Structures are given as C-alpha cells and as structure tokens.
Amino acid sequence: MTWQASRLRCCIGCAFVALACVTPAWAQDPQAPVSEPGAASSPSDNAISEVRPGWLEVSVLGGLFGGGDLGDGKAEMLTNQIPTSGMTALFTTSARIEAAPLIEARVGVRLGRNVWGEGGGSYARPDFTVDIASDIEGAPDVTAISKLTQVTVDGSLQYRWTRSGRRLAPFVMAGAGYLRQLDDTRATAETGWLAQGGGGVLMRLSTGSGFMRRLAIRGDVRAIWLRDGIVLNAQRGATFMASAGMTLHLGGGIYPVP
C-alpha cells in the first residue's frame, strides 16, 4: 500500500506540473503567433504596405482643340482724287481658326511623391476660315475655307493629390511648348510657341494587385495661349484644349504606407 500511495502522489504531482506549463499557452491570443524566446521580430512583419502605380506613365488621349479669331483686315487702294487723295477700302476680311478634334500622346515621369514631369504632343486639322465682305463693287460676301495641319509639342509640371486606397487623383498642371501650323498646300508654314495651364483627374480602374491597377482613365481641360504661328494683324487670344483617354502606369511595386 505504501508503494502504491507513493506512486499515486507522484502521478498527481506530475499532472499539476504539466497543467501549470500548459495554462500560459492557453492564455495567449490564438491569432497572435508566439515568438520563440530570444528571437527579434522583424519590422517588416508589422509594416502595412500597398501597391502603387509606377514611376512612368503613358497616356493616349483624344479631344478638342479650341478655335480663335485671328483679327480683321481690309484691302485698300490709293485713290487719285482732286483736290485730295486717300485710301479706299476694296473689301474687308475677318479670319479665324475653328475648333477641331485632336489626338494627343503624353509621357509622364514621377519626380516626387506628388510631382510629375510630363511631355506631350498633339495633332489637329482645324479649318482656317476667312470671311470676305463689303466689296466695293457689290459682289456677294464669300467665305474661303482651307485646312491647316497643327502640331504642338510641350513640357509640363504636374502636381497630383494622391491618397492610399483612393481611385481618384486630381491634378493641376502648367507648361509651355512649340507650335507648328501649315496650310493644305504647304505654301504657308509658320512656327510659334504656346503656354498652358489647367487641371484634371485620373481614375484608376482597380486598387488591387492585378494588371488592371496599372490602367486609369484620364481627363483634363487646359487654357492655351498661342503666340505667333498663323496670325494677321494681332495675336490670338486664349483658347482651350479638352482631352480624355487611357493612361498606363509602368514600373511600380509594393510600398509602405506612411
């Protein structure tokens, strides 16, 4: 009996020791892994990350390039009247460039968290219209129309408001560039320059991690000031450019959320 009682007491003692060792493990959060003693946790294990668009983007856009007046003029003839001579208007003219559809390509490079540098070029075929009126011989008024080829190349800086998890990214932009205008016969070819400023928005198609996250819909409106090019007796006033299309983001990766 003494040997059996001693054995029973030994078994009961071992059970209490085992229960005491297991109880702290049950008290742990089942979702939180228990680190091994002496093992340092890596900062990256607790970091929150997101997938962001890359450092390079390419946009293909279509839209409308606004028109503008080129000024009025008149054809005059020196008269030989007695006792005085003077100038007599033979007819008057009014010229303008009409609004026209355009195609545009733009390439942007990320310069900072919210700053992008961007270059682009556009192509349009506006109508060059001249109204001829008030003919001295009473001829009916006529309108002469010819096509122009208009090419612009510009560079711009863009500031973009981006936020983690948001699909919309509004932006403002400003820049300057080169203007080239040719008539249909290539007999008239003029160069000039432009300044522009405006804003728009980018809407990402997805915030996930697949290919669709690299695509965005872009739309913007810009005020355009053209100088030189085809003009008559005065510079053109401000006009506009409105465009929309698709943007593809290249590069990119996984970045920590600040």
Q: Which domains does the chain have, with CATH numbers?
A: 51-64+103-126+148-252 (2.40.160.20)
Per the document, the length of the chain is: 258
Distance CA 52, CA 49 (A): 9
Say which residue, 38 or 171, is predicted with more confidence: 171
pTM score of the predicted model: 0.68
Per-residue confidence (pLDDT) for residue 44, from 0 to 100:
46
Distance CA 231, CA 25 (A): 85
**Of 72, 71, 76, nearest in space to 136 by CA:** 76
Say which residue, 5 or 120, is predicted with more confidence: 120
Highest mean pLDDT among 125-134, 191-200, 245-254: 191-200
Residue 196 makes CB contacts below 8 A (sequence gap 6+) with 154, 156, 173, 174, 175, 176, 177, 222, 223, 224, 225, 241
Which tokens is 126 given? 């506006």
Q: Indicate the pairing of strand 86-97 with strand 68-79.
A: antiparallel
Per-residue confidence (pLDDT) for residue 41, from 0 to 100:
46
> Per-residue pLDDT tens for 181-213?
998 877 778 899 999 999 999 998 887 777 888
Highest mean pLDDT among 107-111, 179-183, 204-208, 252-256: 107-111
Per-residue confidence (pLDDT) for residue 227, from 0 to 100:
86
